[in-house]
Amino acid sequence: MKRATVIFITAAILAACCPRQSSTPVYLDPTKPLEERVEDALQRMTLEEKVAITHAQSKFSSAGVPRLGIPELWHTDGPHGIRPEVLWDEWDQAGWTNDSCTAYPALVNLAATWDRELSALYGKCIGEEARYREKDILLGPGVNMGRTPLNGRTFEYMGEDPYLAAQLVVPYIKGVQEQGVAACVKHFAVNNQETRRTKTNSNVDDRTLYEIYFPAFKAAVQEGGAWAIMGSYNLWNGQYNCHNKRLLQDILKDEWGFDGVVISDWGGCRDDDEAAANGLDIEMGTWTNGLQGAASNTYDMYHLANPYLERLRDGRATEEGLDDKARRVLRTIFRTAMNPVQNFGSFTSPEHFAASRKIAAEGIVLLKNGGALPLRVDEISPRASLGRDDKPTILLVGENAYKMMVVGGGSSNLKAKYEVIPLDALREAFEGKADVVWERGYVGDTRTDYNAVVTGQDLSESRSPEQLKADAVAAAKEADIVIFIGGLNKSKFQDNEGTDRVDIVLPYGQDELIEALAEVTPNLIVVNISGSPVAMPWADKVNAIVQAWYGGSESGHALADVLTGAVNPSGKLPFTMPKALADGPIKTERQYPGIEVEGVPYWEEYYDEGVFIGYRWYSSKDIPVQYPFGYGLSYTSFELSGAFLTKKVVKAGSNVTAKVTVKNTGDKAGAEVVQLYVNDAEASVERPVRELKGFQKVYLAPGEARTLSFTLNPEDLSFFDADAHEWKLEPGDFHILIGTSSEDLPIDLLLTVK
């Protein structure tokens, strides 16, 4: 019997037997409005019961009210899949054999789809898996901005643009919560690095916050209706974010109207008084090393446990404040575990694996194509004339063609039911048509386990780096098609929670290996698998470049679909691919990773670049990049025409609509992402040269055309006036720029605001 069914039956018996309750309590009546149920339950709870539901009772659960038949809340790590079960008080796995999940693509892969419908599908599927496993709160999605490409958790977020992240997080949240699972949006806020993440104070001005770092969170709350928000480890303006009064109480709850729960990141709660007073609702993970190093009654010693009770009893904390926390927790329980509409979910279904494959493929970005793609073994290069009459040979070079990528990376580590690697997928795709062989080329990360999740692969290697390179080059000389599949992995100082990268240069000598391969094969295809930007100094020497991601269970199949043309690539970069790290906006140590200040117990970090991150920086400073934000090619071609504004002159406060026709002018069906940017011709503050304010992904058959509409509201043209604490629209001329990337905007429509 499912847990929720047990809850309702048990609670009904309790209500019938309890002499204090002559009729069924309102909180047990699923037909009653939510707030009535919350208030009824609240008035029946003791002080101790209210406090108990505001902190953890185990590594991944927080207490309910057993006396009243109100269940606990079960949390689970996401946002790319449902974490394997762990022991009650430890990070170690519980040893279950039925918790191998569907691994979904990393969120940066989802962002690269630029597809709201796929984001909704992603949320629905992962919500179904969470519900099946009887999880109430999914710890994701993440929407922190890509301030620096060095951030180890870039792969867990949705890119460098607040509008893109805001547009994609909303359908994800709705998809999850329609399954009766709370989406816990993280990490709030300005958590943009892993280096000293728990002891760095982010100094950010309000304009930058509201224009860059807040929009996705605000949209999650006001448009997505998120039921939970997770605080971040860092400090903002001198106060830890898991109990930062201005951040959580003044902005999130009071200004934005958030009615859900604020949950601490695991171990992010630091102070008794601030935890009680500053907007935190559920404290999780304090003393995260099980029960070691703390009293035997660890959970009673949490900041929101016995210390909170003491403050309530002696008047240092108010019961009014406690009731607000308890209401929010009860509201979450009634929305999830005791939701009137019970969903039972599904787990590792064929539909889920199909969705994972589709999302992964739709996010793959074709960066360059000199004609080598899509792969056609029946039209291979004349270099195959080597005296052979057998099947052509496709050589894969690179560790990432073989290495499984779901395992590792921190809290996003998953025990997947299976993971298809590129080598196996391409052998499957070309079975009977070509011989697909593999040369490792370099040794990167040989670990095959993380937190007791074991891939079963053997990544040991006896050859020297020199021999590996020589063997790969020799094999390339004899192959008909050569595909290098490399990039990053989830080891320390790469795409990994807890550490940042040290540069954007490819590790393990991959640049030199690619250069050597390019010298011996005329049509080298490079596939970069990473969750963050990398430098590509060899870009002009190879025929084709494909940006792939950590694609989850079906990552190999998704890559093969794109390389063979079964899927026409339509992904667009969700971040800028710079030529070098030094080209970016982070110029000083005080900007990143922060500096020590005498007498201050944490490191100070200053966001001196303001709103100029990502493409906002490169375009405003006219710095050339390898590939711009929003860029991506297709196997077909598209044409934009007939663009116009419904009004060329508007009064401040009015909306305006831009229209443009997009046509597939090639011979293959495909999708294009039409993007709209705004340029303020003259402003009283320094503004970026262009800012994304609209996009639509449209699928078209050969010769098909469609007219798209983009509606701009006053805020889309405004900047945030920190002094007035409001969005300010200044009269004047605005350029409405339309195209297919942040650097390819051939349409310029003039709008005058009076």
H or E stretch covering 435:
strand 435-439
Q: Which residues contact 706 (CB under 8 A, 6 or more apart)?
A: 661, 662, 663, 698, 700
Label the pairing between strands 137-139 and 732-739: unpaired
**Which amino acid, one-letter code, is at 47?**
L
Supply φ then ψ for residue 747, to 5 degrees.
-100, 125
Helices (H), 69-208: 107-113, 116-132, 162-177, 206-208
Cite the beta strand spans of 166-227 per DSSP E: 182-188, 200-203
Cα–Cα–Cα angle for 409, 411, 415, rounded to 5 degrees: 80
The length of the chain is 754
Instruction: Please tell me the distance from the alpha carbon of residue 554 to that of residue 123, in angstroms, as a whole number.
Output: 17
Label the pairing between strands 719-721 and 726-728: antiparallel
Instruction: Please tell me the distance from the alpha carbon of residue 75 to that of residue 139, in angstroms, as a whole number.
Output: 7
Which of 557, 509, 564, 507 has the alpha carbon at shortest distance from 532? 507
Task: For residue 311, give Cα distances in angstroms to 53, 103, 261, 273, 306.
Answer: 16, 44, 21, 8, 9
Label the pairing between strands 137-139 and 73-77: parallel
Helix (H, G, I), strand (E, B) or coil at 159: coil
Label the pairing between strands 544-548 and 525-529: parallel
Spatial contact of 680 and 736, defined as CB atoms under 8 Å apart: no
Q: What is the dihedral of CA 25, 31, 35, 41, to 10 degrees?
A: 20
Residue 442 token pair: 């370099």
Q: Name 744's bridge partners.
A: 741
Which of 87, 180, 96 has the alpha carbon at shortest distance from 138? 180
Label the pairing between strands 649-650 and 747-753: parallel
Place of tokens 């709030």: 188
End-to-end CA distance of the chain: 64
Instruction: Please tell me the distance from the alpha carbon of residue 281 to that of residue 262, in angstroms, as a whole number.
Output: 5
Instruction: Please tell me the distance from the alpha carbon of residue 261 to that of residue 656, in angstroms, as a whole number.
Output: 37
Helix (H, G, I), strand (E, B) or coil at 593: coil
**Which amino acid, one-letter code, is at 664?**
N
Supply φ then ψ for residue 199, to 5 degrees.
-145, 40
SS3 letters for 57-89? CCCCEECCEHHHCECCEEEEECCCCCCCCECCC
Instruction: Please tell me the distance from the alpha carbon of residue 721 to that of residue 210, in angstroms, as a whole number.
Output: 9
Instruction: Please tell me the distance from the alpha carbon of residue 468 to that of residue 460, in angstroms, as a whole number.
Output: 13
Instruction: Please tell me the distance from the alpha carbon of residue 260 to that of residue 28, in angstroms, as a whole number.
Output: 20
Catalytic residue positions, numbered: 265
Which of 306, 208, 264 has the alpha carbon at shortest distance from 685? 208
